[in-house]
Amino acid sequence: MIAALLFWLFAAVLVGSAVMVVTARNPMHGVLFLILAFFNAAALFVLAGAEFLAMVLVIVYVGAVAVLFLFVVMMLDIGAARRKGGWQAYLPAGLAVGAVLFAEVLFSLAGWKLMPAAVAVPQPAGLSNTAALAGVLYTRYLLLFQASGLVLLVAMIGAIVLTLREHTRSRHQSIPRQLARDHRETVVLLDVPLREAPVVPGEAKKQAAPAPGGAE
């Protein structure tokens, strides 16, 4: 009874916040509603008895992915989107995509049933669902599991290759070099004669040429 009520509560908030993600004017609010949607999905997992999946959903999506979303949205500095005309131009394409997705959901719902092999597996009492999941994932589906890891690795390397540039202008500090410095190369003892301007090595050049950063 309470579980059913909670299910409807979480499901309603989930759908509501999912709608708000696409309709919110302020992109920042959109991301925050997305996070709320993730949370409610995690709560639904808990109600279904899949506490491991719930926690992983929160850790991966809320704790890492959505933080990056938020970061990017904050950086882009998009104000609240103004209502723009011309949405009719996108209407046919949007409707077509929606119709295809809806048809897919209908077909999969109609043809959906538990795999006989999965139903036949007896559920041992007292086995936590983390252990049960690991037992299947690391034995029967080990190859698929590793393959999905490889796919992620490829994606990661791709992202790094695409974004990494030669940082010729960045002031990179080499930590070993920094640690290897000692007083002999940093401190200069000058014998300064009285009533005469001292000549510091490097100082004359610095004054002659303007600083590389410009004169602002």
Partner 1 sequence: MIAWVLAFFATPLGYLILTVLKALAILVPLLMGVAYLTYFERKVLGAIQLRKGPNVVGPWGLFQPFADAIKMIMKETVIPSGGNRALFLFAPMLTFFLAMIAWAVIPVNDGWAISDINVGLLYLFAISSLGVYGIVIAGWASNSKYALLGAMRSAAQMVSYEVSMGFVLVSVLLCAGSLNLSDIVRAQQHLWFCIPLLPMFVVFFISALAETNRAPFDIPEGESEIVAGFFVEYSSMAFGLFFLGEYANMFLMSALTSILFLGGWLGPFGLWPVLGPLWLILKICILLFVFLWVRATFPRYRYDQLMRLGWKVFLPLSLLWLVLTSGALLAFGWLPHA
Shortest spacing between CB 56 and partner 1, in angstroms: 7
179 counts as binding partner 1 under rule CB under 8 A = no
HSE-CB for 199 with a 13 A CA cutoff: 1
Structure tokens, 40: 């409610």
* Residues sharing a CB contact under 8 Å with residue 58, sequence separation 6 or more, in sequence order: 38, 39, 42
146 counts as binding partner 1 under rule CB under 8 A = no
DSSP H helical segments within 1-141, as ranges?
2-23, 27-47, 51-57, 66-76, 87-110, 116-120, 129-137
Q: Which stretch binds partner 1 (CB under 8 A): 47-55, 114-122, 139-147, 186-194?
A: 47-55
62 counts as binding partner 1 under rule CB under 8 A = yes
11 counts as binding partner 1 under rule CB under 8 A = no
175 counts as binding partner 1 under rule CB under 8 A = yes
Binding-residue total with partner 1 (CB under 8 A): 25
Distance from C-alpha of 33 to C-alpha of 27, rounded to nearest angstrom: 10
63 counts as binding partner 1 under rule CB under 8 A = yes
Q: Which of 6, 20, 70, 133 binds partner 1 (CB under 8 A)?
A: 70
